[in-house]
Structure 1
Amino acid sequence: MPPRFHKKRNLPPPRADKATLAAGVDEAMEAAAELTHSDLEDESPDHLRYRLSRDAKERLDKNLQAHIRHASRHQIQKLIALGGVRVNGKSAKPSTKLKAGDIVDVIVPPRPTKEFKPEPIPLDVLYEDDSFIVVNKQAGLIVHPARGQMTGTLINGLAYHFQQQASNTPSTPKVSHEDGSVEGLSSLGVDDARPGIVHRLDRNTTGVMIVAKQDEPHWKLARQFEDRTNLKAYLAVVHGCPDPPGGAVEQPIAKHPTIREAMAVRNDSTAKHALTLYRVRERYKGYSLVELELKTGRTHQIRVHLSFLGHPIVGDILYGGEPIGDRELDTPPLPAAHRAMMTYARPKAEGDKLEADALARDDIYMTTPALHAALLGIRHPMRNDEEMIFTAPIHSSMRTLIDKLRERPDEGPVVTSGYWVDLDRALP
């Protein structure tokens, strides 16, 4: 029986990406270098994908050594055994002989950077066992180093968390190492300074995240994210109320043509298929609480799709949402991205000024996107695929905003069935 959280719905199925890789191995490696840059909303593991232009003279494990030079042959064989490598979309063996036209897909990060410093960053731990830890990430927290920033990240906080655990043992191990590994976290991902990181959330997106503590569960969890066999549901406060109250946004996404920080709905060869399901859960005067379910995972997917609907996320300045304070509660503003079926993104200078003006006020609730990863459903990688669902309570700023909006209810249709998030648990 399939997991309960994968039941069928009468909605359009997601289409596979139509990326075309170069015929030669060298060209494929160049394409793969671009693929390793995160193009996911909540982040699926990075992977290398290449197509052989001619028959390989060596077996799969030896062929992979030419592409993953920092891994030993034994490590590569273990990776293959754990399902981290597929040939033409199917599981393979280390001895598999590769032929011209075969497509090899490998979940693998690049080389490490530096040692992590444990930092006493507050962590809201929802669950922890020997395989993984689940946290409710706060706004403003980067998941792993970016652009050389090695401090103030979730990994620094986890390093401190495990250091505190280790201090209760007679012999305290060194928590962080020069190769980027951290005691207590999976060694997978150290090559990209993100040990144990299975998926990602944007800096200002709050909510549930799972981080692997050992290699085998890491690979198995990563495959669930890669294959989209898990469940991810978000809650967002948006301007206005989508009509109808439930449906699907299926629009391709690519980099914005003029604004470097943004993505956009585009219908050209650079775009990738993206599908988001939405459900209005509560209605307020000028606003609504919407549940989102990701069927693909493009960068900023939820934010772009809601902006395209004409209902941008409150506080999402980049994609045409507006900061919200007391005066906006009773007099809801017309958001910049109010026109449906149009792509919108604010220029950086304009967005910076709007944010600065909002922060100068003392009545502001949200200047960052009111977007929360409320629920994550997985199959436990080490317990015979036992189903587990984690719900992360909404953090204080967004929670206060929702409490204020609930004092201003509005009539109209909402989704009353087929949703995932228990609001009593997400808003205790």
Structure 2
Amino acid sequence: MKIKDPSVQLISISADEAGQRLDNFLLARLKGVPKSLIYRIVRKGEVRVNKGRVKPEYKLVAADIVRLPPVRVAERETMQLSTKLDKVALLADCILFEDEYLLVLNKPSGIAVHGGSGLDFGIIEALRALRPEARFLELVHRLDRDTSGVLLIAKKRSVLRLLHQQLRLKNMQKDYLALVRGQWPSHCKAIQAPLLKNILQGGERVVKVNSVGKPSETRFKVEERFAQATLVKASPITGRTHQIRVHTLHMGHPIAGDNRYGDREFDLELQGSGLRRLFLHASALCFEHPHLGTSMRVEAPLDDQLRYCLQILRKTSLFL
């Protein structure tokens, strides 16, 4: 098996790169290199900062000199990465907005936003591989694997910090479209129900409404009614795991196609509409541009499957 053996690199940390952990910097810099190998070369002292050994959690500062050793990546692993890139190359067609500071993507359903939990490749890894010249690409927020829609990515660390500040101050508005079972009550404009996250033995995350959970709020507005379902706009005020999915279930109106919190019989009733995925879509994101200071609203169109589902509901006897 042939081995690629790049030369030693000395990298000066810019002000924009400062503040991040060494391990996160290396994961972004050494694209395609297994995480276990990165931690091993740090532990063995092959990666050095200012000629000294450091731990993976070391916080980089501006003007630090990071020594990257020759990293031996097997050609077979490179071929596997190439195969993955073929599958995500279509992401280039999903870009809704881009400038030198940020990128907004219409994330497809069925793709995780990042590797982990048995997945070694996600949206952010794909973007880094597709944009090898990019010095910095980081998720500003997350979407569930089966949720589609607006996903915001920062292209500078300073931009990431400013956008995270907007999230903390609740100055960023996210709107989702969800198709839920039954007739959503018009008077239900908001749900405030604390959510508690549990990690099952297999690593699966399950969230339930529980009085000891974290405060959580989602606002709702009816968009369209059908005989057996309602299309609602859901705007989360807090950002808890599976928040919209659990809040709609708590109200007795689970989301169509939800294999974790949904209703099997309801999903079977919708089979004729062609729905084969979770009907939860991040339709719009409002925020302040971190560099220009202008207000931005980015909208993501529904994919073909969700649009077709709504068309069938409107045309068939399901229509109210």
Residues 1:261 and 2:205 aligned together? yes
Higher strand proportion: 2
* Closer/same/farther in 2, CA of residues 185 and 150 from structure 1, 3 Å limit: farther
Q: CA deviation at 1:197?
A: 1.1
Native 8 Å contact 1:317 1:367 kept in 2: no
Task: Specify whether residues 372 and 185 from structure 1 end up closer, same or farther in structure 2 by C-alpha distance, changes over 3 A only.
Answer: farther
Structure 2 residue corresponding to 1:275, chosen from 217, 224, 243: 217
1:376 aligns with 2:320: no
Structure 1 residue 367 displacement after superposition: 3.8
Instruction: Name the counterpart of 2:186.
Output: 244
TM-score, normalization by structure 2: 0.69
How do residues 24-423 of structure 1 correspond to structure 2 at under 5 angstroms? 69-74=57-62, 117=81, 119-120=85-86, 121=88, 122-123=90-91, 124-147=94-117, 149-151=119-121, 153-162=122-131, 175=132, 183-184=133-134, 186=136, 195-244=137-186, 246-256=188-198, 260-268=204-212, 271-322=213-264, 328-329=269-270, 365-383=274-292, 385-408=293-316
Measured in 2, the distance between the counterparts of 1:308 and 1:257 equals 19
SS at match of 1:133: strand
* Deviation for aligned residue 1:148: 5.4
**Cα distance per residue 1:185-226 (max 9 Å; x no partner):** 52xxxxxxxx41111101000000111111211211121122
> Residues 324 and 364 of structure 1 are in contact (CA less than 8 Å); yes or no, is this contact kept in structure 2?
no
Any conservation in 2 of the 1:316–1:323 contact (CA below 8 Å)?
no
Aligned letter for 1:273? P
Aligned pair count? 245
Cα distance, 1:67 vs structure 2:
11
- Tell me the SS of whatever aligns to 1:156: helix
**Partners of 2:169 and 2:234 in 1: CA distance:** 19
Runs (5+) with no aligned partner, structure 1: 1-65, 77-113, 163-174, 176-182, 187-194, 330-357, 412-428
Q: TM-score, normalised by structure 1?
A: 0.52
Gap change, CA 1:241 and 1:297, over 3 Å in 2: same
What amino acid is aligned across from residue 143 of structure 2 in structure 1?
L
CA contact (8 A) 1:252 1:273 kept: yes
Residues 126 and 136 in structure 1, CA contact (< 8 A), matched pair in contact too: yes
**Amino acid of the structure 1 residue aligned with 2:281:** H
SS in 2 for 1:293: strand
CA distance in 1: counterparts of 2:135 and 2:281, whole angstroms? 25
CA drift at 1:256: 4.9
Query: CA 1:410 to 1:133, structure 2 compared with 1: closer, same or farther past 3 Å?
Result: same
RMSD in angstroms over aligned alpha carbons?
A: 2.9
Secondary structure of 2:263 counterpart:
coil
Q: Which amino acid aligns with 1:238?
A: V
Query: What are the superposed Cα offsets for residues 86-145 of structure 1, whole Å, 9 maximum, x if unpaired?
Result: xxxxxxxxxxxxxxxxxxxxxxxxxxxx99946131111101100011110001111111
CA 1:328–1:224: 2 relative to 1, 3 Å: same
Q: Is the 8 A contact 2:273 2:312 kept in 1?
A: no
Letter in 2 for 1:70: Y
- CA distance 1:410–1:400, change in 2 (3 Å): closer
Give CA deviations for 1:152-172 in whole Å, capped at 9, x if unaligned: x1123313442xxxxxxxxxx
Question: In 2, Cα distance between the equivalents of 1:257 and 1:129?
Answer: 38
Give how far 1:73 is off. Answer: 4.3
1:315–1:370 contact (8 Å) kept in structure 2: yes
In the TM superposition, residue 388 of structure 1 has moved relative to its aligned partner by 0.5
Task: Pick closer, same or farther for the CA change 1:272–1:75 going to 2, 3 Å.
Answer: farther
For 2:276 and 2:256, locate their aligned partners in 1 and report how far apart those are by CA, in whole Å.
Answer: 8
Rounded Cα–Cα distance in structure 2 between residues aligned with 1:255 and 1:72? 32
Change (3 A) 1:73 1:261: closer
In 2, the alpha carbon distance for the partners of 1:274 and 1:285 equals: 30
